[in-house]
Chains A and B, each alone.
Chain A
Amino acid sequence: MASINSVEWRSICDKFTNAQLLTETESRSDPENDPFRSKYKAREYLREIYCSLKSFEAGDGEEDTVGDNCEQRPTDQPVDGQREDAFSQGLSGDSPAGMRAAKLGAVEYYLGVNHVDTEELPAGQEHLMNCLKMLDRCRVSSENVSLFIHVRNQLGILWAGRDETETAHGFLETAESIYQRYMKEDGRPPTDMTEYFSTEENLLTHQERAKRFELAYTHTMYYLAQVYRNLGENERAATYCHSTLQRQLQLNQFSPMEWALNAATLSQYYITKGQYMEGRHCLAAATVISGLAGEVPSEAAARESETESERREQLQQKRADIARCWIKYCLNLLQDAKKLLEDNIGELDTDRQDELKRARRQEEEEEEKGRKSALLFGSEDTFDSIASVEEKVMCLLPLDFTEARAVFLVGQNYVTQAKEYFQMDGYVTDHIEILQDHSSLFRALAFFEEDLERRCKMHKRRVDMLEPICNDLNSRYYLLIRRQLMFELAETYNEMMDLKLTLANRQADNHSLDSHTIKKFNHLCSASARYFQMFLDSLCSPEGKQPEHLEEEVLRPALVARFRVARLHSKLISSSPPVQLENLNRALENYKYVVQYCEAHPEAAAAVETELELSTEMVGLLPLKINRLKSRMAANN
Chain B
Amino acid sequence: MSKTKSSESVKVVVRCRPMNDKEKASKFNQVVSVDVKLGQIMVRNPREASELPKVFTFDSVYDCNSKQIDLYDETFRPLVDSVLLGFNGTIFAYGQTGTGKTYTMEGVRNDPERRGVIPNSFEHIFTHISRSQNQQYLVRASYLEIYQEEIRDLLSKDQSHRLELRERPDTGVYVKDLSSFVTKSVREIEHVMNVGNQNRSVGATNMNEHSSRSHAIFVITVECSELGMDGENHIRVGKLNLVDLAGSERQTKTGAQGERLKEATKINLSLSALGNVISALVDGRSSHIPYRDSKLTRLLQDSLGGNARTVMVANIGPASYNVEETLTTLRYANRAKNIKNKPHINEDPKDALLREFQEEIARLKDQLEKRVGKKKRRRQRRRAGEGSDGEDLEDAETEDDDEEGGDYWREQQDKLEREKKAILDDHSLVADEKDLLLREKEKKMEDLRREKEVGEMLAAKVKAMESKLLVGGKNIVDHTNEQQRMLELRRQEIAEQTYCSIWKSRFMPSSDHQMMSRPPSAVGYRRPLSHHAQIAMRMKPDMRYKAENILMLDMDLPARTTEEYQEPVIAPKVAAALEDALRDEDEIQVDASGFHSSLGPTLPASASGSLKKPKSGRPRTSKKSSTPTSPFSPCSPGSPLYPQSRGLVPK
Contacts and interface: CB of A to CB of B under 8 A. Distances in A.
A230 B291 contact: no
B208 A237 contact: no
Given A160-B267, A222-B274, A237-B281, A321 B291 contact: yes
A161 B271 contact: no
15 contacts: A30-B208, A119-B249, A160-B265, A161-B266, A222-B274, A225-B277, A227-B267, A265-B282, A265-B292, A272-B285, A310-B162, A321-B291, A328-B289, A426-B167, A433-B289
B289 A424 contact: no
Given A157-B267, A160-B266, A328 B287 contact: yes
Given A35-B97, A237-B277, 13 more contacts: A29-B207, A33-B98, A35-B209, A160-B265, A229-B277, A262-B278, A268-B287, A269-B282, A272-B287, A331-B287, A332-B287, A473-B170, A541-B6
Interface in A460-499: 469, 472-474, 476-478
- Among all A-B residue pairs, the 4 with the closest Cβ atoms: A477-B172, A428-B167, A328-B287, A426-B166
B4 interface: yes
A478 B267 CA distance: 35
Given A160-B267, A331-B287, A269 B281 contact: yes
Contact of A262 (B171, B173, B267, B274): B274
Contact of B265 (A29, A165, A219, A476): A165
B502 interface: no
B479 interface: no
A121 B349 CA distance: 52
Contacts of B322: 119
A230 B289 CA distance: 22
Nearest to B342: A479
Given A226-B268, A258-B275, A325-B289, A474 B208 contact: no
Classify chain A: how many residues form its interface, as a range. 35 or more
A244 interface: yes
B208 A223 contact: no
Contacts of A372: none
A461 B287 CA distance: 22
B378 interface: no
A564 to B, nearest CB: 22
A218 B269 CA distance: 12
Interface string B99-136: 00000000000000000000000000000000000000
B542 interface: no
A226 B277 contact: yes
The A contact surface, by secondary structure, is: helix
Contacts of A238: 278, 281
Contacts of B271: 218-219, 222, 244, 248
B303 interface: no
A335 to B, nearest CB: 9
Nearest to A436: B286
A28 B208 contact: yes
B257 interface: no
A306 B271 CA distance: 28
A185 interface: no
B285 A474 contact: no
A542 interface: yes
Interface string A206-226: 000000000000110011011
A163 B265 contact: yes
A18 interface: no
B146 to A, nearest CB: 16
A272 B282 contact: yes
Interface string B154-170: 00000011101011111
Contacts of B346: 476
Contact of A157 (B207, B269, B291, B349): B269
Contacts of A294: none
B166 A427 contact: yes
A230 B265 contact: yes
Contacts of B162: 310
A426 B278 CA distance: 27
Contacts of B266: 160-161
B249 A266 contact: no
